[in-house]
Amino acid sequence: MSSTTRTMAAPRTRVVLAALLRKELRVELRSFEAVPAMSLFSVTTFVLFHFALQRNALSGDLASGVLWVTLLFAAMLGINRLFVADAEQGGFDGFLLSPADRSVLLYSKALTLLAYLLVLEVVAVPAFALLLLGSALWPALPGLLVVLALGDLGIVVIGTLVGALAVRTSVRDLLGPMISLPLLVPVLLCAARATSPVLGAVGAGALPLRWLVTLALYDLVFGLITFAVFDFLLED
Amino acid sequence: MAVLAALELRGLTRRYGERLALADVTLSVAAGQTLAVLGPNGAGKTTLLRLLATLLRPHGGEVSVLGHALPDEGWAVRGRIGLLGHEPLLYRELSARENLAVYAALHGLDGEARAEELLAAVAMERRADEPLRTLSRGMVQRVAVCRALLHDPELLLLDEPRANLDPAASELVEPLIGRASGRTRVIVSHDPAGVLAEADLVLGLVRGRVQVLAGAAELDPAALVELYR
Amino acid sequence: MYGKRLRPLALTTFAALTLTLVLAFFWAPNDANQGFLQKIFYLHVPLAIVTLCGFVYAGLAAIAHLRTRDSRWDMRSYVAIHLSLVFGVAVLVSGSIWAKGSWGVWWDWSEPTLVSFLLVMLLYATYQPLRFAIEDPERQARYASVFAITAGAFVPINFVIVRLSTAYLHPRVLGDISANLPGRFQVVFYLSLVSMALLWITLWRYEMTSKHASAQLRALKRLLAGDEDEALPRRSAVPTLSVGAGGAGSSGVGAAR
């Protein structure tokens, strides 16, 4: 044994999490690899929908479908980038060499993806209201925020898992969306159904509770699955 | 105090698919000693290093690092090992100070003073606030030395640690990762002549099998030539 | 290990399938509304159930793989997904034919079972590409198991959610079978379910036997060649079994004798 007696207390989760989040923020602010692309992509997609559907204003089912499909595809860009810096620059190994709890990496990545999505929506939702939405945004906003929160949660738990699954493969940009999109269909389905009455042509309708509960349960189940299997993606 | 083995391998085996990457490696390294690992490409040198670093699990045999059996007690030795390999394990967008701050937090250290001390030792304190992508490979390697030593590890695992360093930089890191550091070391090298001078024990691997295992003093130079044939 | 009793199993499966077909065509009455076309139901529905059970089994085997790190569990999971994918294509084709016959369209979005099934197939279609894209065999096995567990959980949940989303337009053959179907239908249906399950199990065991045999063959070849000058194995999506050639390996060769 080494002659120096060292206290080998495990590093505190909160300290590690704060350090990892600070790292994520700095890397993104300096490289601009994810968030600007996601936001710009969403606005471009709204323009595409305008021409593809040949409509100036959308409401109801169509509005909610266009909004959610756009958000989902924009989220794919973030999911694909989420672990790239760690896989390419050795952050995974550096993390595994430390005594820090493995699940802190999951928490930090999930929170990072959530932050990506929030910034995306700060850009995409007003842009959508401006460019495509037939009715006013303000009355619909409270209901929309609830659905967005639950939808984001679903994208976060599945995106973090699939991002980690795909990043160390030879075709990660393809596998990420191919695996995560089918898994996200129930999220899309529930979120789109819950959003469509809110974006109704004759003013915001009530939130359909059934879809919100289903969505929340789906988030919960896949949150637990992601938590349970994430560690196995780290070790070698 | 009796000299305890810092590393104890008995019949260590690791497969890569159906192929054996390491077969039946048995050796023991006392605390404070240096093991040099030599061999041609694909001999299993890096695999051995990653196994000792707890990044890979052994498939057979017993591995004990700093008195703890792997892989079950990996948690106990993480944080007491410093790995310095081909990859710096640093974020290119972050500066040296920021990278070291992340690692200090991962190791549960308040490492600012230690980081400054190390950065000064490798003469990087002036450029420690620039993103690593703007630095040369040799400079990044010097920061990587700081990263590997930040938590004052008892065991150093070095994979060609001086590969990107010029002679001056090599001299700078010598007190940190050289023999004088007093740490137990495992050095992987392609340069037998250079590494023999600082080794106590030499392990020669060929296709994952032990071909040479001898004290550095009594090593037959012909055996090394044979190793790379 | 898997080769044992394979022949009697195969014969039983063959007999059960023959009996199912004979009874379905000559003994079960023709459906009042759909007539002869309804016979495809005896193929389609049991096949779909067996396929989904196969996916769920693959997820359970994957859990066992992650817990034990035994590559044989990965092989079980892999073969199960592989087989269920093949069965699944048959389900989609037979379902499409049935839809064309009874509703006049090849595809019907208001049929939740069909839609959920398509989603499940789309997801599992990425299993082989995922495996193939990971070179390190051990990591490949582990990542594939993570996928199989996630997808295995997705199977039932997805069915519930898609069904919630669709109005109940079509006869629910699955849910309330005893209420809807007269006696003879039921007998043939359950018999068909058993035969399809037997078919799946037989094919599964057959492929497991073959994979084991080739792993042993490679191990023996390696032993004979003295492990010298061995080329790196080709990149592959097939799990690597750690089989010893002399029974020394943990998952010994003797098991298959």
3-state secondary structure labels for all residues of C8-29: HHHHHHHHHHHHHHHHHHHHCC
Token pair in block for residue A167: 């990043």
Pair B195, B180: CB distance under 8 Å: no
Contact flag C119-A185 (C-beta cutoff 8 Å) = yes
B contact chains, 3+ CB pairs < 8 A? A, C
Pair C39, C225: CB distance under 8 Å: no
Looking at CA atoms only, how far is residue A97 from chain B in angstroms?
6
Pair C131, C77: CB distance under 8 Å: no
A225: contact with C, CB 8 A cutoff? yes
Looking at CA atoms only, how far is residue C120 from chain A in angstroms?
8
Contact flag A179-C161 (C-beta cutoff 8 Å) = no
| Residue A51 CB-density burial (10 A; 0-12 exposed, 13-18 middle, 19+ buried) | exposed
Average pLDDT over residues B57-66: 90
Average pLDDT over residues B31-51: 89
Would you say residue C228 has pLDDT above 70? no
Instruction: Collect all residues from B whose CB is shorter than 8 A from any CB in A.
Output: 1, 4, 31, 50, 53-57, 66-67, 75-76, 78-81, 83, 87-94, 98, 101-109, 131, 147, 154
Higher pLDDT: A225 or C169? It is A225
Helices (H), C107-237: 112-124, 127-132, 137-165, 177-180, 183-225
Residue A166: closest CA among chain C residues belongs to which residue? Answer: C130
Contact flag B18-C218 (C-beta cutoff 8 Å) = yes
pLDDT tens string C103-136: 888 888 877 888 889 999 999 999 999 999 998 8
CA angle at residue B124 from B119 to B126, to 5 degrees? Answer: 110
The band of C178, judged by pLDDT with boundaries at 50, 70 and 90, is: very low
Total domains present in chain B: 2
Residues 84-113 of A with CB under 8 A from B: 85, 89-91, 93-100
Same domain, B47 and B102: no
- Whether residue B160 lies inside any domain: the answer is yes
Would you say residue B142 has pLDDT above 60? yes
The continuous run of DSSP H or E covering B22 comes out as: strand B19-30
Q: Which of A171, A172, A229 sits opposite C146 (nearest CB)?
A: A229
Cα torsion A48, A53, A59, A62: sign: negative
Computed over every residue of chain B, the mean pLDDT equals 88
Residue with token string 């106990």: B76
CA angle at residue A45 from A44 to A51, to 5 degrees? Answer: 95
Q: Which of B16, B20, B207 sits opposite C137 (nearest CB)?
A: B16
Q: Which of C69, C215, C230 sits opposite B19 (nearest CB)?
A: C230
Residue A32: closest CA among chain B residues belongs to which residue? Answer: B93
pLDDT tens string A50-62: 999 998 888 889 9
Instruction: Collect all residues from B whose CB is shorter than 8 A from any CB in C.
Output: 15-20, 57, 59, 207
Of the residues B13, B14, B16, the best mutation for testing chain C's interface (the one with the most C CB atoms within 10 Å of its CB) is B16
Question: What is Dmax (Cα atoms) for chain A?
Answer: 77
The band of C248, judged by pLDDT with boundaries at 50, 70 and 90, is: very low
Contact flag B16-C242 (C-beta cutoff 8 Å) = no
Pair A15, B105: CB distance under 8 Å: yes
- Number of A/C CB contacts below 8 angstroms equals 80
Chain A neighbors of B89, CB-CB under 8 A: 89-91, 93-94, 97
Would you say residue B182 has pLDDT above 50? yes
Would you say residue C245 has pLDDT above 60? no
Contact flag B18-C227 (C-beta cutoff 8 Å) = no
- Whether residue B195 lies inside any domain: the answer is yes
Domain ranges of chain A: 13-233
The HSE-up count of residue B134 (CA atoms within 13 Å, CB side) is: 10
The band of A19, judged by pLDDT with boundaries at 50, 70 and 90, is: very high
Looking at CA atoms only, how far is residue A163 from chain B in angstroms?
19
CA dihedral C101→C107→C110→C112, nearest 10 degrees, is 100
Contact flag B89-A11 (C-beta cutoff 8 Å) = no
Q: Which of A43-47, B163-167, C48-52, C150-154 shows the lowest mean pLDDT across its residues?
A: B163-167
Domain of B63, in residue numbers: 5-80+153-227
Q: Which of C69, C227, C240 sits opposite B17 (nearest CB)?
A: C240
Chain C neighbors of A185, CB-CB under 8 A: 119, 158
Which pLDDT score, from 0 to 100, does residue C184 have? 76
Q: Is A188 helix (H, G, I), strand (E, B) or coil?
A: helix
Helices (H), A102-140: 103-131
Token pair in block for residue A197: 């009455």
Average pLDDT over residues A189-211: 85
- The residue out of B149, B179, B194 marking a domain boundary is B149
Chain C neighbors of B11, CB-CB under 8 A: none
The band of A201, judged by pLDDT with boundaries at 50, 70 and 90, is: confident
Which pLDDT score, from 0 to 100, does residue B73 have? 85
Amino acid identity, residue B203? L
Would you say residue C89 has pLDDT above 70? yes
Contact flag C222-B18 (C-beta cutoff 8 Å) = yes
The band of B76, judged by pLDDT with boundaries at 50, 70 and 90, is: confident
* Distance from the first to the final alpha carbon of chain B: 43
Same domain, B123 and B164: no
Q: Which of A100-104, A200-204, B85-89 shows the lowest mean pLDDT across its residues?
A: A200-204
Chain C neighbors of B57, CB-CB under 8 A: 69
Which pLDDT score, from 0 to 100, does residue C120 have? 95
- Whether residue B85 lies inside any domain: the answer is no
Residue B75: closest CA among chain A residues belongs to which residue? Answer: A99
Measured CA to CA, the distance from residue B72 to residue B163 in angstroms comes to 33
Contact flag B89-A30 (C-beta cutoff 8 Å) = no
Any idea which fold C6-213 has?
A: Four Helix Bundle (Hemerythrin (Met), subunit A) (1.20.120)
Of the residues C242, C243, C250, C253, the best mutation for testing chain B's interface (the one with the most B CB atoms within 10 Å of its CB) is C242
Which pLDDT score, from 0 to 100, does residue C219 have? 81
Domain ranges of chain C: 6-213
Chain C neighbors of A191, CB-CB under 8 A: none
Same domain, B98 and B208: no
Looking at CA atoms only, how far is residue A106 from chain C in angstroms?
15
SS3 content of chain A, % helix, strand, coil (to 5): 75, 0, 25
Residue C128: closest CA among chain A residues belongs to which residue? Answer: A175
Same domain, B164 and B71: yes
Of the residues C136, C227, C241, C251, the best mutation for testing chain B's interface (the one with the most B CB atoms within 10 Å of its CB) is C227
Residue B12: beta bridge partners?
A: B25
Which pLDDT score, from 0 to 100, does residue C174 have? 47
The continuous run of DSSP H or E covering B204 comes out as: strand B201-206
Which pLDDT score, from 0 to 100, does residue C169 have? 46
Chain B neighbors of C69, CB-CB under 8 A: 57
Higher pLDDT: C182 or C255? It is C182
Q: Does the structure's ipTM exceed the value 0.95?
A: no
